[in-house]
C-alpha cells in the first residue's frame, strides 16, 4: 500500500476548518471550564453543528460520509489546543456511536445514530470494571433473561466511563456476562442501556488529574431492566465486538496524542521566541533549539504512524499491529513532549494559566486509556508471532 500520507484537498479543508475552530472558539474559553471542572456544553453543541460527531458515518444515518482518517484529523487539531474537548469527541464517536453502527440492527441504527451523529446526544462505552482494569475478559457485570418478559436484567458496575453522566448522554452500551460456555468460560454480550433507566445510577464526576473539562464517572446497575431487543450484535460476541472497537479506537487516541504532542511544540516555539533571559530570547540557545527539534521529530513520526494505521483501516486491510504501534508511540511521546514543554516554560509551565500545564496533566492518561502501554506491547509481540 502507499505510504504517501499527504492529505487530499477535502481532508485538508476539514483539517483547516477544525484548526480554526480550535483556536478561535475552544482556546479562549476552555481554560475556565478546565479550572472549574465544568463540561463545555456550548462548545460540544457547536462541534455537533459542524458535523464532527458524524464524521465517519454514512449520510443515511445523519453522518458526514467520512472515515477514520477524517475523524483522526479532527481529533488531532482539537487536541493541539485541548484534550478534554478532543476526548469528548473521540469517546462520543469511537466508543459511543461506533458500536451501534458496527454491530446494531437497522432499527437500532435508525433509532440512535441520527442524534449521536448530530451531537444532540452522547453515547458511552461501559467496559472497564473496578476489579478488572485491563482484564476486560474478567467482566463481572451480569445480564440475565427474564423468561416471562424477555427483558435483560442487569447487575454490576463500571468505572472510568467517559461521557456517561452529561445532560445530553442518551445511552451506555455495557458488556455483561449472559451465560457460560461448556468449559465454564463466560459468554459476554453487549447491551444498550438508555440513560434514566430505573436502577441505572450514575455517580458524581471523578476528581481527576487531567481531562478536567470532560465527563468521567462510575456506573452501577441494580436490577436494571431493558428490552430484549437492546442486545447489540450477537449474544456471547460482546467481548470480541469490543476488542474490534478498541482496535479502531486506538487509532483515534493516537491521533489525539499526536495533537497534544504537536500542541506542546506550538506553545513552546512561541514561548521560546518571546521569553527573554540573559539579554536574549531563550530560543537562541542551542539547548532549547535541540529540545524543540526533538519534540517536532516525535510529533511528526507519531502523525505518520496514526495516519498509516487509519489508511489501512479505511482500505479494509489488517491494521491491528499498526494501531497498537501508533497508540503506543504517540501516547509515550505525548508524555515526553509535555514534560519538555513544561521544562522550556520554566516556572510558568507549572502555572495553569499556560496551556502546557494542561497538556502536562492531560498526557499521562494517554498511556493508560484504551489499552495501557503494556497491553500495546503485548499486542505487538503477538502480531510478531509470540
pLDDT tens figures, 313-365? 999 999 999 999 999 999 999 999 999 999 999 999 999 989 999 999 999 99
The dihedrals phi and psi of 281, each to the nearest 5 degrees, come to -65, 140
CATH 3.40.190.10 for the 124-234 domain, yes or no: no
Q: Please, which pLDDT band fits residue 69 given cuts at 50, 70 and 90?
A: very high
State pLDDT tens for residues 114-155.
Answer: 999 999 999 999 999 997 766 766 889 999 999 999 999 999
pLDDT class of 1 with cuts at 50, 70, 90? very low
Strand partners, 172: 124, 193
Q: Share the mean pLDDT of the chain.
A: 95
Q: Is 370 a catalytic residue?
A: yes
Stretch(es) of the chain classified as CATH 1.10.540.10: 9-122
Name the fold adopted by 240-383.
Butyryl-CoA Dehydrogenase, subunit A; domain 3 (1.20.140)
Angstrom distance (rounded) from CA 3 to CA 363: 28
The predicted-structure confidence for 217-237, as pLDDT tens digits, reads as follows 999 999 999 999 999 999 999
Look up cell 509535555; give the residue.
338
Backbone angles phi, psi at 126, to 5 degrees: -95, 85
Q: How far apart are CA 163 and CA 166, in angstroms?
A: 6
The per-residue pLDDT for 7 is 87
Please choose, from the candidates 262, 193, 265, 203, the residue with its C-alpha nearest in 3D space to the C-alpha of residue 229.
Answer: 193
Grid cell locating 336: 515526553
Reference 116, options 69, 152, 68, 64; nearest CA is 64
Interatomic CA distance for residues 42 and 100, integer angstroms = 25
Instruction: Give me the half-sphere count of Cα atoms (radius 13 Å) on the Cβ side of residue 280.
Output: 6
pLDDT (mean) for 287-301? 98
Judge whether 187 and 142 are in contact, CB under 8 Å.
no
Domain boundaries 9-122, corresponding CATH code = 1.10.540.10
SS (H, E, C) the chain: CCCCCCCCHHHHHHHHHHHHHHHHHHHHHHHHHHHCCCCCHHHHHHHHHCCHHHCCCCHHHCCCCCCHHHHHHHHHHHHCCCHHHHHHHHHHHHHHHHHHHHHCCHHHHHHHHHHHHHCCCEEEEECCCCCCCCCHHHCCCEEEECCCCCCEEEEEEEEEEECCCCCCEEEEEEEEEEEECCCCCEEEEEEEEECCCCCEEECCCCCCCCCCCCCEEEEEEEEEEECHHHEECCCCEHHHHHHHHHHHHHHHHHHHHHHHHHHHHHHHHHHHHHCEECCEEHHHCHHHHHHHHHHHHHHHHHHHHHHHHHHHHHCCCCCHHHHHHHHHHHHHHHHHHHHHHHHHHHHHHHCCCCHHHHHHHHHHHHHCCCCCHHHHHHHHHHHCCC
Q: Read off the C-alpha cell for 309.
A: 494505521
Q: Return residue ranges of the chain for CATH 2.40.110.10.
A: 124-234
pLDDT above 90 covers a percentage of the chain that reads 92
Residue whose cell numbers read 442486545? 231
The Cα–Cα gap between 83 and 335 comes to 13
Which residues of the chain form CATH 1.20.140.10?
240-383
The confidence band for 214, taking pLDDT boundaries of 50, 70 and 90, is: very high
Distance CA(211)–CA(162), nearest Å, equals: 10
The span from the CA of 261 to the CA of 247, in Å, is: 21
pLDDT higher than 80, residue 3: no
pLDDT (tens digit per residue) in 154-204: 999 999 999 999 999 999 999 999 999 888 889 999 999 999 999 999 999
Cell of 362: 492531560
Are 308 and 294 contacting, i.e. CB atoms less than 8 angstroms apart? Answer: no
Marked catalytic residue, from 332, 370, 374, 383? 370
Amino acid at each position: 500500500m502507499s505510504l504517501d500520507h499527504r492529505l487530499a484537498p477535502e481532508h485538508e479543508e476539514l483539517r483547516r476548518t477544525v484548526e480554526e475552530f480550535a483556536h478561535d472558539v475552544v482556546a479562549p474559553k476552555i481554560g475556565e471550564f478546565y479550572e472549574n471542572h465544568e463540561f463545555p456544553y456550548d462548545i460540544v453543541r457547536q462541534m455537533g453543528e459542524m458535523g464532527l460527531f458524524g464524521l465517519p458515518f454514512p449520510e443515511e444515518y445523519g453522518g458526514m460520509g467520512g472515515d477514520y482518517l477524517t475523524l483522526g484529523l479532527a481529533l488531532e487539531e482539537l487536541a493541539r489546543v485541548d484534550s478534554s474537548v478532543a476526548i469528548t469527541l473521540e469517546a462520543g464517536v469511537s466508543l459511543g456511536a461506533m458500536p451501534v453502527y458496527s454491530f446494531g440492527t437497522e432499527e437500532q441504527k435508525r433509532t440512535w445514530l441520527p442524534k449521536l451523529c448530530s451531537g444532540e446526544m452522547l453515547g458511552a462505552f461501559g467496559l472497564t470494571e473496578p476489579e478488572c482494569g485491563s482484564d476486560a475478559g474478567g467482566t463481572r457485570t451480569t445480564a440475565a433473561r427474564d423468561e416471562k418478559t424477555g427483558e435483560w436484567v442487569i447487575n454490576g458496575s463500571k468505572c472510568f466511563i467517559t461521557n456517561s453522566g452529561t445532560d445530553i448522554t442518551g445511552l451506555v452500551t455495557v458488556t455483561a456476562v449472559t451465560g457460560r460456555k461448556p468449559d465454564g468460560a463466560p459468554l459476554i454480550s453487549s447491551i444498550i442501556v438508555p440513560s434514566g433507566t430505573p436502577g441505572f445510577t450514575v455517580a458524581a464526576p471523578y476528581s481527576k488529574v487531567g481531562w478536567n473539562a470532560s465527563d468521567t464517572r462510575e456506573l452501577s446497575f441494580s436490577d436494571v431492566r431493558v428490552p430484549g431487543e437492546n442486545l447489540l450484535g450477537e449474544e456471547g460476541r460482546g467481548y470480541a465486538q469490543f476488542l474490534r472497537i478498541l482496535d479502531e479506537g486506538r487509532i483515534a487516541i493516537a491521533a489525539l496524542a499526536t495533537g497534544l504532542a504537536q500542541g506542546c511544540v506550538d506553545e513552546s516555539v512561541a514561548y521560546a521566541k518571546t521569553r527573554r533571559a540573559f539579554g536574549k530570547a531563550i530560543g537562541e540557545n542551542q539547548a532549547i533549539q535541540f529540545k524543540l527539534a526533538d519534540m517536532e521529530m516525535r510529533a511528526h513520526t507519531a502523525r505518520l504512524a496514526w495516519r498509516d494505521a487509519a489508511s489501512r483501516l479505511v482500505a479494509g486491510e489488517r491494521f491491528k499491529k499498526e494501531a497498537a504501534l501508533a497508540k503506543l508511540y504517540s501516547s509515550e511521546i505525548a508524555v515526553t513532549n509535555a514534560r519538555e514543554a513544561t521544562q522550556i516554560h520554566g516556572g510558568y509551565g507549572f502555572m495553569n494559566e499556560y496551556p502546557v500545564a494542561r497538556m502536562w496533566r492531560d498526557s499521562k492518561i494517554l498511556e493508560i486509556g484504551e489499552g495501557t502501554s503494556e497491553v500495546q506491547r503485548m499486542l505487538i509481540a503477538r502480531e510478531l508471532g509470540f
